[in-house]
Structure 1
């Protein structure tokens, strides 16, 4: 019997790039053999199922590369493992449209 690899993955739920507004949420027992698109669905469902919606108290420095999108943005058809996710990996979760706007004009406000 082959056991699927499980990991702890920290997800930064980015509410606003401009205001550096995000909240880190830890997911335990994440199957690395699942597709990225399935993990995205899990994160979205978890957010609706009780993650705190207002992030006003969680403004921090959002350290995130704006380069190498082809390498760093996970392909939805890959498994998490094939996309480079391992135990204790931290990933950002955001609207791609918001990221594109911020990348075009990377200014932050307080």
Structure 2
């Protein structure tokens, strides 16, 4: 029987170029909710989460992408892989489970326009 609840790590990506990100753990996540519902939940949570610097709280995140799944291979990229977008970017309206999210999945939460810009010219500044 599949577990309806999961522990997910969401990596808030503020800047790809500067490798500026912050991982947050969310427990007891319902995998049957839609991607849109989870995005709304995460945005609400980070807007009031104690200890999270204001630049991360106020950033305009809009896209989730699977970075890593439990017992799977990890990418060598420091922020996240730039490959397999069609498979790994979570689609609006889709349920988390149907998008491949399972217990202990790690997700990146970022602004799509920043990602497209970085993907076209993937360089780091630091």
Q: TM-score, normalised by structure 2?
A: 0.76
User: What is the aligned length?
Assistant: 104
* SS across alignment from 2:29: strand
Could you give the per-residue CA deviations for residues 12-37 of structure 1, whole angstroms, max 9, x where no partner exists? Answer: 00010000000000000000000011
The answer to whether residue 114 in structure 2 is matched with residue 98 in structure 1 is yes
What does 1:1-110 correspond to in 2, within 5 Å? Answer: 5-51=4-50, 52-53=52-53, 62-110=78-126
Question: Gaps (5+ residues) in structure 1?
Answer: 56-60
Question: Gaps (5+ residues) in structure 2?
Answer: 56-76
Deviation of the 1:64 alpha carbon: 1.4
* SS across alignment from 1:71: helix
Query: Which aligned segments of 4 or more residues in structure 1 are displaced greater than 2 angstroms?
Result: none
Could you give the per-residue CA deviations for residues 29-73 of structure 1, whole angstroms, max 9, x where no partner exists? Answer: 000000011000111111101251257xxxxx7341112211110
Deviation of the 1:4 alpha carbon: 7.0
* SS across alignment from 2:123: coil
Deviation of the 1:77 alpha carbon: 1.1
Contact map agreement 1:4 1:33 (CA 8 A) in 2: no
